[in-house]
Amino acid sequence: MCKTQKINLRSDVHAIKIAETRGTDCATQTEKRKSENKLQRDRNRIRVFNERRLFLAELPFSRIKDSQFNEELTKNKLDDAKQKINVLREDINHQTAKAKFFENRHFVVLAELQTRDKEIQQLEEQIGHLSSTLRDREEELKENDSRGHFRKATVNSAHAHRRFESTSNWKCDVSSSRMGRGGTSTRFHSNTFLRNTGTCSSG
């Protein structure tokens, strides 16, 4: 380890120590301030209490002194109880505010969850609609393919039928020409006419 690294480590440790001492100093100062305020309140209370005791001691009758002294004690106790009640009320108000905050947050979260559920339902409905449309489209394509095959089959059958008719007509023409070689020209014209019309006459 070089010197610069040692110096940096020392400076970091020193800074950490300074931060720790500052934090502890702040904590100790606040505690010291609180303790001083408490001592001052106790001193003021004792001073007032002693002044009242001296005032009561100057009264002529001891019964009055005792009763007033007891009255002062009860008043002090009542004051302490009132202060404690105020502290407890503040704590209760703080706790109720926290409870209301968390309750409102709970309702907000529930509302968000309900909206998310609605969005999920809408998406599921859209998915179902799209899947149904896809199924319908696939069925249409299948029907179109089957119709195309049927049309091809009908066209092929029509072509085959026409070929068969043409071959049969050609055979009829050939046979008629063979039979009527020594005949007149009208026979030839009638055969050609029948061939062109698609019918064949025998002999």
What is the mean pLDDT of the segment spanning 32-44? Answer: 82
Q: Does residue 170 surpass a pLDDT of 70?
A: no
**Alpha-carbon distances, residue 61 vs 58, 68, 69, 72, 127 (angstroms):** 9, 11, 12, 17, 98
**Residue entry with tokens 């064949």:** 200
Q: What is the pLDDT of residues 71-83, one digit of tens each?
A: 888 888 888 888 8
Confidence label for 48 from pLDDT (cuts 50, 70 and 90): confident
Distances (CA, A) of 120 to 7, 106, 110, 124, 131: 61, 21, 15, 6, 16
CA 115, CA 192: separation in Å to the nearest integer? 86
**DSSP states of the chain:** --HHHHHHHHHHHHHHHHHHHHHHHHHHHHHHHHHHHHHHHHHHHHHHHHHHHHHHHTSS-HHHHHHHHHHHHHHHHHHHHHHHHHHHHHHHHHHHHHHHHHHHHHHHHHHHHHHHHHHHHHHHHHHHHHHHHHHHHHHHHHHHHHHHHHHHHHHHHHHHHHHHHHHHHHHHHHHHHHHTSSS-HHHHHHHHHHHHHT-----
Mean pLDDT of the chain: 71
Of 159, 156, 170, 160, which is closest to residue 198 (Cα–Cα)? 170
Q: Would you say 66 and 43 are in contact if contact means Cβ atoms under 8 Å apart? A: no
Please enumerate in sequence order all residues whose Cβ is within 8 A of that of 105, keeping only pairs 6 or more positions apart, or say none: none
pLDDT band at 52 (very low <50, low <70, confident <90, very high): confident
Question: pTM for this structure?
Answer: 0.31
Residue-wise pLDDT for 123-136, tens only, equals 999 898 888 888 88
pLDDT at 28: 74
Q: Which of 71, 72, 37 is nearest to 51 (CA)?
A: 72
pLDDT bin (cut points 50, 70, 90) of residue 173 is low
**Looking at 61-65, 120-124, 139-143, which range is the least confident one?**
61-65
Give the residue extent of every domain in the chain: 1-58
